[in-house]
Structure 1
Amino acid sequence: MSEKALERIRKAKAEKATTLNLSSCDLEKIPEEVRDMIWLESLDIRENQALTDLSPILKIPNLKSLRFQSTRIYELTPVSELQNLELLYCENTQIIDLAPLAKLKKLQSLNCSATKVADLTPIANLSKLHTLRCVSTRVVDLSPIANLTNLTDLNIGQTQVKDLGPVAKLLNLTDLFCFNTHVSDLVALSNLHKLEELHCDGTNITDLSPITHLTNLHALSCFNTLLTDLSPIKLLIQKGIPVKWQDFEEYISSRSGEKSFILLKGTPLIIPPIEFAQEGNEAILEFFDQLGDDRTPLNELKIIFLGEGAAGKTSLIKRIRKETFNPKESQTHGIRIRKTPFEIGGDTINAHIWDFGGQEVMHATHQFFLSRRCIYILVLNSRSDEKAEYWLKHANSFGGSSPVLVVLNKIDENPGYDVNRKQLLEKYPQITGFYRLSCKNDEGIADFEKALQEQVARSDTRRTPFPKAWLAVKQHFSDMQADYIESEVFRQVCAENGVDKIFSQDVLLQFLHDLGVVINFRNLKNFDTQILNPLWLTNGVYRIINSPIVAGQKGLMHERDFDAVINDPHFNTTNTQEKPFRYPKNKLEYIVRVMQEFELCFPLENHSYVVPQLLPVDEPEFRFEGTVLHFVLRFPDFLPDSVFPRLMVKLNRFIDGDLRWRTGMVLHKPSVFNARARVRADREDKEIRIDLCGEEPRRFLSFIRETVREIAADFTKLDYDEMVPIPGAKKEFKRYSMLVAMEKAGKKDVFSEELEKDVSLASLLDGVEEPVMRDEIEQLPVQAFVSYSHKDLDYLEELRAALAPLIRLNKLKIWDDRDINAGEQWEKEIFRELEAADIVLCLVSSDFVASDFCWKKEFEAALKGHHKGTKTVIPIRLRQCDWDDLPIAKLQAAPSSNWINQSNDRDAAWTEVSKQLRPAMDKAKQRKKKLLEKQRKLR
């Protein structure tokens, strides 16, 4: 027995204390000294891993509370004599049988979670029981607890329970947890009017109607279920219970102090569409108000054709549209969108069919339009089947679980043509079928059309109801002939059709964008060109990517050349079937900004842009000095063409002069990282190789890795392995994730096959990454709110760029008011984000101080949180002003030595701001860690 246990026993005896805590005392048995402490009412012996026997407690008849979680105790017989027991926690033990508890009539709280308990019959008559937790047990049947009418808290999460019927009589229930069970309906809950909290996430429930009248409900967790309709809980939403597109872990890590929530992430919502649920309560209620009692389905969807050039995509589309087959069909350039009706079940369903050009140089632009709620059709022929997985990965990465129909075309030319169907189905389960056909002689066309109609019929967008007013707006823009319109025109059309609230207009606009009817980029709203004809936009982008002018300038495009590049007469004669596009000078910058937004180009300081795909192919001469650190990112299945150009765009401010080429770049910015890096992509090997030297190679490497991770997150399923080279070995690499797992498991070494000896894990991991980067606390996100005057917008951009290392390495998330749409709800959104922030950055200038909103509202609210210790306020000194006597001047400001606009070295000044922000982030992470641990215990 440990000295710690003896000391606690001595003290308890001396004071004749009724409570004894012997948790985590390395006990192998209950000390003999405890036997004669008959006055004890509470005994805590949890977290003693070697403890197996409870027999000594037989001598303590007055026990009311007994906790022995996380022990090896397997037998409850000694407990049967404790007639005064009110609380028993035996979580994470070897307990199987609850029979010894049958006579404990005073028992009020029982936690037998993470045990092998399967039968609840022994507790059927414990009428005083008010709390029962049997999470992660073998319980299937709840019938034994049907008459425990005093139960208020029931947790049966992660069990095999299917039927909640026995719960129907538990009218005092306030908290019910049935997450990750086989429950599929909530009918049994319809009369549980005292229910306040319901966790049914991870189940097969489809309908919330049974809980419509449970007006005391304030916490509902139903993420990762099969819910399609939120109408039954409209009253809860109207009461203001926050709707969040989050799971439970995300919720508790991003919000503090809120006990009311509706969590919906991962549900296939139709009413309202997911987009509205993601926007929150206001959007949902606006949708319901507009919808009224009309449930007319939208009956529209998007169908995307993928495949190599000359695979026969256009010919197949013509067959679907009942058009004449042309054996000399010209190859599609850019993109064509065709509205095609399907007659199904008496309804006309309009499909927007997108035919992408198969040219490789255009593949990176597919990200504009690939989405999760559409049907993909992959067209292959015998000359392009080696690219089957390339395109399937595209559909998988961008489309998630969207169905894919694989067409094996031109079988009239190659009757024996086929693919390894079993292998492809195993790797890509979203494939719904393979169809061998010939557009030339119609062989297989009928079977394909039947399969396509089945997918169209079950499409979510077919069933989505659209308010009549919204349908009118959508139809107006579907019929429009203009290539683009201004924002004011869109709002005017909305108002004319009854959609008069700005918030509703903005949400509708985004939904139309996602549907593919119009294109709108929220981050480019300042250009006042919110609505575009997709063909007008894509043709403009394609013209830049295919421009002989830009190619001749080795990927450089000057502002003065925009007109010549985009309005090059060559493009108006390429395809005479398409109408000639013309781009006014006041719209040229917008198209370039779209490319910049999607990371297809990046700006230089001299009013020029770089298009990475058009850079020179040859790698320039470059030599490293000193020790070189090597690292490899290996994409086993698929390295999308867009990944490396996007990486170049994101890291462009770190590129060392002109050291950039089509597949690589050299990075160097000593004011941020005292290191130099060469980053190269190898398409054949599907790898990105990173070599570094200098004094801070590990931190710079972590920054680059996090940037790649950020890009990969935009794909639904893009897997890659981070590979660590074995020092001294020529070709041997180990997976970084495996090394980290081995370190967590307590391993010290890993065996090198090439060197035939053990290699230190610490030396491998610490060689490529600072140990702090593997710390759990460091991975907790920190929310920063920026309060600023709009006259200081340029400084805000400088701030974001300067904090990029903290954003990518230290999980800093920055929010400013440009992240919301203009409208009547903007102030509410600002204060919601301000309340959620861990850090508030005030960009101080005379305009900031003069702004009533910044000073009197945002700063005063932030300062209250600062004084309460729930957030940290940091003034960023932008432009000198008379602030010495103001409350904000008493706070620790950054930079401490000078104002930003007076600094001779702006990079150095911003670097100081970044460094001064780190202690505040550490403090915030500690706060969040404590909250997370507390919430997990409650869960």
Structure 2
Amino acid sequence: MTEEELLRVIEQAAGEGWTELDLSGKELTVLPPEIGKLTQLKKLILGKYEYDEDGDIVGPIGNELKALPAEIGELKQLEELWIVDNQLSQLPAEFGQLTNLQSLYLSDNQLSQLPAEICQLTNLQSLNLYNNQLSQLPAEFGQLTNLQSLYLYNNQLSQLPAEFGQLTNLQSLDLSDNQLSQLPAEICQLTNLQSLDLSSNQLSQLPAEICQLTNLQSLNLYNNQLSQLPAEFGQLTNLQSLYLRGNPVPIPPEILASGNAKEILDFYFRTQDPKETEPFYEAKFLIIGEGGAGKTSLAKKIEDEAYELQPEEKSTEGIDVLRWDFPHNGQNFRVNIWDFGGQEIYHQTHQFFLTERSLYALVADSRKENTDFYWWLKVVELLSNNSPVIIIENEKQDRKCEIDVRQLRGEFTNLKEALPTNLATNRGLSEIKKNIQLYISNLPHVGTPLPKLWVRVRSALENDSRNYISLEEYRTICRHNKLTDSKDMLRLSQYLHDLGVCLHFQKDPVLKNTIILKPEWGTTAVYKVLDNKKVKENLGRFTQNDLEDIWHENEYADMRDELLHLMMRFKLCYPIPNSPNTYIAPQLLDINQHEYNWDETNNLILRYEYEFMPKGILTRFIVETHPWIEQQKLVWRSGVILNKDQTRAEVIENYNQREIKIRVSGNRKKELLAVVTHELEKIHQSYERLQYNTLVPCNCNSCKGSQEPYSYPLDKLKKRLDAGRYKIECENSYDEVDVRRLIDDVNLQVSGREQELTPRVTPLQQELSQERDESLNRQNLQPKLTMNYLDFQLLVTADKKIRASSDQGDDSGELRLEMNRIKLTLKLIESRQTDTDLLKALGGELYQALFPPKIHSHLRATIAGANAHGDNVRLRLTFESPELAALPWEFLYDESTNTFLGNNTQTVLSRYIDVRLEKRDLKAKAASKPLKILLVISSPTNLTKLDAAGEERLIREALEKHINAGEIELDVLQEATIRNIDQKLSEKPYNIFHFIGHGEFKDNKGFIALVDENKNSKLLDEVGFANLFLGNRNLGLAVLNSCQGAELSSNQAFAGLSPNLVRRGIPAVVAMKYSILDSTAKLFADYFYRYLALGLPVDTAIQKTRNAISINVGLDKPDFATPVLYMRAKDGIIMSGL
């Protein structure tokens, strides 16, 4: 905007008495004094943040203002002032005249100090000063006593004035990324503080007075220098979240990782008592290097110096684990020596066992001189969080190794030294063992005080000769050794998992119920597959029958499913869709690129260049994206073609050039590229220090459509964004292009306070995640279903009394609702005039009514208890009053966790009908294939005509991939007479009756409209409709997709059609409470029936379906809460074999 244009805008605003003016992104360098004329302004924006549709920050939109005119002080009516993303180095003294200011945003400037006059802004409630250069705050700062939120992160503050304690109304304070070495005692006066962020400072201790912040709920102390906590810390009884990672405090990372303040503080103060603790002296020593270098010889010599080397020492296949003990501080120190096979095939699979808090030895053979020191040291650096490493120079026949250790140390700070030895004569062996003891005893976790009960359990596991035990057997061992706290049991198993003592994947639905006590047993099983001759000859292809031959020994017979899942978890193989029980190990695929055609028109191109490229990135990517491999054929060891919705992506790795190149063509290329980058970034983030450049293609007219466009390093684009420079020149055409457009073209977004560039999570990404999960779980149905639930039953009586019961006990309360306000909201929902805030407001009101404080605490405690065991909570609602039952409780919204209960991942929600269930053989297993669905479409001629063909097509399209996979069988009946339905039900043992048609509600009763012999409507009430299914022991579910199928009478308890169908004998009914979009109907059928085919309980299936709808359709529409589930099976198992 030119100066003249700006002056015209100011004149117009002054003349018309504007109260708000937005001048962000106008490339202003000067703000004229005429701005003082706008005395009516209440809000002025000179720089702000741009947000996307999901509410995430896309980037700042500022100007280039270096100063503000004194006349800014004339804007005395201002209540909100935004000057984000400019170049201000100071504020004028007149700034203090803005006494009505309530919100002030000055982030992303160059302010080095604040004027004393800022103290005059006594009405200020919110102040944002992050990303500046402030080194101190004026003492007068303490006069801003109405401040409620203050953000000062990423400045240069080294201390806070004592007057800071006067900000007694402060509720949220962020001081992270400064240089604070201590806090003033006066901070204890901030008694209203709820959130305090002190991360990334230099604090070595906390004042005891911090205990007076009794309202504090969240405290972030990440990345400081704290080695202890004040004893008074335990008085922060409202503290829920505590972040202490990155401090030398003696608490294992597994405890700190939860962020649960109670768990962390309980552990810390428990281990402060030396009578209750023992120091932990155990560590992992990993020996790596090329095949034949002498790794096994070194391991055996460390264990037993008298061991005689064999002329041809057998190479290690996979991994061997040996034990070595030595005395340390008067106690026994146990070392677990991991001897890694050196063959090429193992290189990319070993990475899953290269752990932190370990000592590494890289063995080099002096005769072969084939050790790639750089590669091995880089692997350790990336995968072990810079754990210490020593080089062992295996000087066979006393031939010296030539290693430039000084040069290697210059690049690898974790390289300690190189030690020569001749293992045949034991020369240098004692020195090696002495150094191993030195370095391994100085690992950060060594000597950490652990509860004595933990050490006792560890000892019991160590003496257990079994290869694996069940989770329940582990709990029994814990209880036998007096460890009875369930959460403590899981903390210990996680701690031992991270140390490599055992394997327990607590978050994996299949593996969480098994603890592998001997990790080498599991790894040996994995390598047996990768080393198998037949599997290699078949280019990585194998079947379940092959696994029975490979794992034929008794020790594997009962664990084949778990071991296969272990391989899939490590991304070592994937199931081939629509080829039951068949898998591919991608590292064994054909090395040669396949032939295929490629449309080079208007491609999107992206490249990654790596400073060092670890092996296995592309094969892991293939596993992650395997459902979309074109024809399940266009894949080779270093490349893959993905195909989704007529859009193709070519992803090729050139390992020698350390590059991955991506090309995408088709209608949805931008979305598919976002999926590819998202999956690659996930893999990148699994490495600690992976250095790479993302090269973004130019979109100028010359480069657009070219196969070799000019590319910009993403870091360079980010720096330009940070500097407010939104244009950049193409080196090919010399045209200027927009930086934000470049980033948007490859579907990246700026997020977080440091404006990191990350791929957007799109609906297409969600689709891949779903298909991948289905593909993986399809092969492991039975283990997948070993899920446990804690029950939480809520009964609301006719007189509005609430009774809550669970394993935590019983509680009671009274339900209070403002029905008139709710009824107004329901009318908006029925007409689909909704947004997220409206639905949250409704859900919040329903939640507060149904969960008064005591019952809310009861629910949260139940959920916390379930989480501790990796379980979910089954929330069952029962209402005696039809009026209350008619309310849409599926919108329940917990503001404290920002979640809708109807679609979150910790609970499953249903309406429970408490009647006796006919005894059936109901076991939690996948349905007898295929799941049989009868779709009945009823369109009487005397009612509004339905598009029967369209309805059928919609359902068929939704289920097509499941029908083709043999998982679901769909039959359709469009002449919905009683006779036809009865005949159809007798032909086949249908599991599900899906009705699409009309419903009527009259005389306080619900009716389903079928068709009579004259093709007019024939109304059936719940008795008549339920009679259709009398004696049918296969049918477990009726789905009513009718406009009023989910309506309930407000006058008569049993008048509602759906709950009464359950009372009449149908195990479960799902009804749509509101009209839904066709796209939602397709999503519902796709997800819900797929989950049922997998054998999930019906309430779990409906919960996952609601979640999928919310992701795809959004939380601003009522669709996700429209499916209402009524059931009478407490465990959600509703049909035989399902």
Q: Normalized against structure 2, the TM-score is what?
A: 0.60
Instruction: For 1:888-899, list aligned pairs within 5 A.
Output: 888-890=1072-1074, 892=1076, 895-896=1079-1080
- Give the 3 Å change call, closer, same or farther, for CA 590–395 of structure 1 in structure 2: same
* Candidates 571, 574, 592, aligned match of 2:564: 592
Distance 2:491 2:7 in 1: 64
**SS of equivalent to 2:362:** strand
Moved more, 320-329 or 460-469: 320-329
Q: CA contact under 8 A between 2:790 and 2:807: conserved in structure 1? A: no
Q: What is the CA-CA distance between 1:800 and the residue it aligns to?
A: 1.6
Distance apart, 1:42 and its partner CA: 8.9
**AA at the equivalent of 1:892:** I
AA of the residue aligned to 2:1073: A
Query: Which string of whole-angstrom CA distances, capped at 9 and with x for unpartnered residues, describes residues 446-494 of structure 1?
Result: 6654543343333222132221222111111111111222232212111
**What does the per-residue CA deviation read over 1:33-75, in whole Å, with 9 as the maximum and x for residues that have no partner?**
958x9x99999796685585745589x7999999795777778
Q: How does 1:69-218 map to 2 (within 5 A)?
A: 79=94, 91=106, 101=116, 107=120, 136-137=132-133, 139=135, 145=139, 157-163=153-159, 166=162, 177-186=174-183, 188=185, 192=189, 194=191, 196=193, 197-208=195-206, 210-211=208-209, 213-218=211-216
Inter-partner Cα distance in structure 2 for 1:180 and 1:760? 35
Cα drift, residue 319 of structure 1: 4.8
Higher strand share: 2
The AA in structure 2 aligned to 1:559 is: Q
Answer yes or no: is the 8 Å Cα contact 1:803–1:914 preserved in 2: no
Structure 1 Cα separation of the partners of residues 445 and 122 of structure 2: 48
Describe the shift of the 1:313–1:824 C-alpha distance in structure 2 as closer, same or farther (beyond 3 A).
Answer: farther
Aligned to 1:355: 339
State the Cα deviation string for residues 894-921 of structure 1 (Å, max 9, x = none): 6555687699x999x9999989954527
Q: CA deviation at 1:731?
A: 7.0
Deviates more, 1:471-480 or 1:311-320: 311-320
What residue number does 1:296 align with? 278
1:57, 1:626 → 2: CA distance?
56
Q: Does residue 339 in structure 1 map to residue 332 in structure 2?
A: no
CA deviations 1:700-759 (Å, max 9, x no partner) are 33322322222222222233334467679887762452685599543364113xxxx446
- Label 1:781 to 1:522 Cα distance change in 2 as closer, same or farther (>3 A): farther
- Indicate the residue corresponding to 1:716 in structure 2: 688
Where in structure 2 are the equivalents of 1:271-420 lying within 5 Å? Answer: 271-278=251-258, 280-281=260-261, 283-284=263-264, 287=267, 291=271, 293=273, 294-321=276-303, 323-324=305-306, 326-328=308-310, 329-382=313-366, 383=368, 386-410=371-395, 413-415=398-400, 417-419=402-404
Distance in 1 (alpha carbons) for counterparts of 2:20 and 2:593: 72
- C-alpha distance in structure 2 between counterparts of 1:685 and 1:402, whole Å: 28
Q: Does 1:737 align with 2:717?
A: no
Cα distance per residue 1:80-135 (max 9 Å; x no partner)? 9979999997957787787x84xx69735599xxxxxxxxxxxxxxxxx9999797
Residues 539-558 of structure 1 mapped to structure 2, 5 A cutoff: 539-558=524-543
5 Å matches for 1:347-746? 347-382=331-366, 383=368, 386-410=371-395, 413-415=398-400, 417-419=402-404, 421-422=406-407, 424-440=408-424, 445=429, 448-524=432-508, 526=510, 528-567=513-552, 582-604=554-576, 605-624=579-598, 627=601, 629=603, 631=605, 633-657=607-631, 659-660=633-634, 662-664=636-638, 666-667=640-641, 669=643, 672-723=644-695, 734-735=711-712, 737=714, 740-741=717-718, 745-746=725-726
- For residues 541 and 480 of structure 1, the distance between their equivalents in structure 2, rounded to whole angstroms, comes to 22
Gaps in structure 1 of 5+ consecutive residues: 112-128, 244-261, 568-580, 785-795, 806-816, 841-850, 925-939
**1:609 to partner: Cα distance:** 1.7
In structure 2, the partner of 1:121 is none
**1:650 & 1:715 partners in 2: Cα distance?**
17
> Where in structure 2 are the equivalents of 1:24-39 lying within 5 Å?
28=30, 31=33, 34=36
State the shift of 1:821 in Å. Answer: 8.0
Secondary structure class of the residue paired with 2:287: strand
* Distance of 2:127 and 2:1111 partners within structure 1: 45
Q: d(CA) in 2 for partners of 1:325 and 1:389? A: 31
Match of 2:10 in 1: 5
Question: Structure 2: how far apart are the matches of 1:225 and 1:358?
Answer: 40
SS of residue matched to 1:624: coil
Q: For 2:109 and 2:508, how far apart are their aligned partners in 1?
A: 57
Change (3 A) 1:74 1:460: closer
**SS at structure 2 position matched to 1:537:** helix
Paired letter, 2:875: F
Output the amino acid matched with 1:864.
L
How far, CA to CA, are the matches of 2:528 and 2:1090 in structure 1? 37
Aligned-pair identity (%) = 20
The 1:724–1:617 alpha-carbon spacing in structure 2 relative to 1, beyond 3 Å, is same
SS in 2 for 1:882: strand
Q: Secondary structure at the match of 2:178?
A: coil
* Deviation (angstroms), 1:546: 0.6
Q: Distance in 1 between matches of 2:1082 and 2:83?
A: 57
Q: CA deviation at 1:676?
A: 3.5
Distance 2:83 2:547 in 1: 70
Whole-Å Cα distance in 2 between the matches of residues 365 and 545 of structure 1?
10
The Cα of 1:300 is off from its aligned counterpart by: 2.0
Change (3 A) 1:921 1:305: farther
Give the deviation of 1:890 after TM superposition. Answer: 0.5
Q: CA deviation at 1:201?
A: 1.2
How far the C-alpha of 1:592 sits from its partner, in A, is 1.5
CA contact (8 A) 1:633 1:720 kept: no
The residue aligned with 1:256 is none
TM-score normalized by the length of structure 1 = 0.71
Conserved 8 A contact 1:109-1:131: no
Distance 1:202 1:57, change over 3 A: closer
Unaligned runs of 5+ in 2: 1-5, 48-62, 698-702, 776-783, 794-805, 809-835, 844-872, 880-884, 904-908, 910-954, 960-991, 995-1038, 1048-1071, 1094-1103, 1119-1138
**Cα gap change, 1:106 to 1:504, in 2 (>3 Å):** closer
Please state how far the C-alpha of 1:515 moved relative to its aligned partner. Answer: 1.8
- Supply the distance in 1 between the matched residues of 2:348 and 2:674 (Cα, whole angstroms): 26
Aligned residue identity for 2:1040: D
Amino acid corresponding to residue 801 of structure 1 in structure 2: E
Assess if the C-alpha contact under 8 Å between 2:177 and 2:199 holds in 1: yes
Kindly indicate whether residue 905 of structure 2 is the aligned counterpart of residue 920 of structure 1.
no
CA separation of 1:432/1:818 partners in 2, compared to 1, >3 Å: closer, same or farther?
Answer: farther
Contact 1:699/1:769 (8 A) holds in 2? no
Q: Deviations over 1:381-422 (max 9, x none)?
A: 443565222222221222123223333432864435113633
Instruction: Tell me the amino acid that sits aligned with residue 1046 of structure 2.
Output: L
Q: Is the 8 A contact 1:83 1:105 kept in 2?
A: no
Where do residues 901-916 of structure 1 align in structure 2 (5 Å cutoff)? none
Once superposed, what is the RMSD of the aligned Cα atoms? 5.6
Q: How do 1:54-65 residues align onto structure 2 when only pairs under 5 Å count?
A: 54=69
Structure number with the higher helix fraction is 1
Q: Are 2:35 and 2:72, in contact at CA under 8 Å, matched by a contact in 1? A: no
* Amino acid corresponding to residue 224 of structure 1 in structure 2: N
Find the aligned partners of 2:1078 and 2:1113 in 1 and give their Cα distance: 12
Aligned AA for 1:483? N
Tell me the secondary structure at the aligned position of residue 11 of structure 2: helix
After TM superposition, the structure 1 stretch with the greater mean CA deviation from structure 2, 308-317 or 592-601, is 308-317
Summarize the Cα distance change of 1:146–1:378 in structure 2 as closer, same or farther, 3 Å threshold: farther
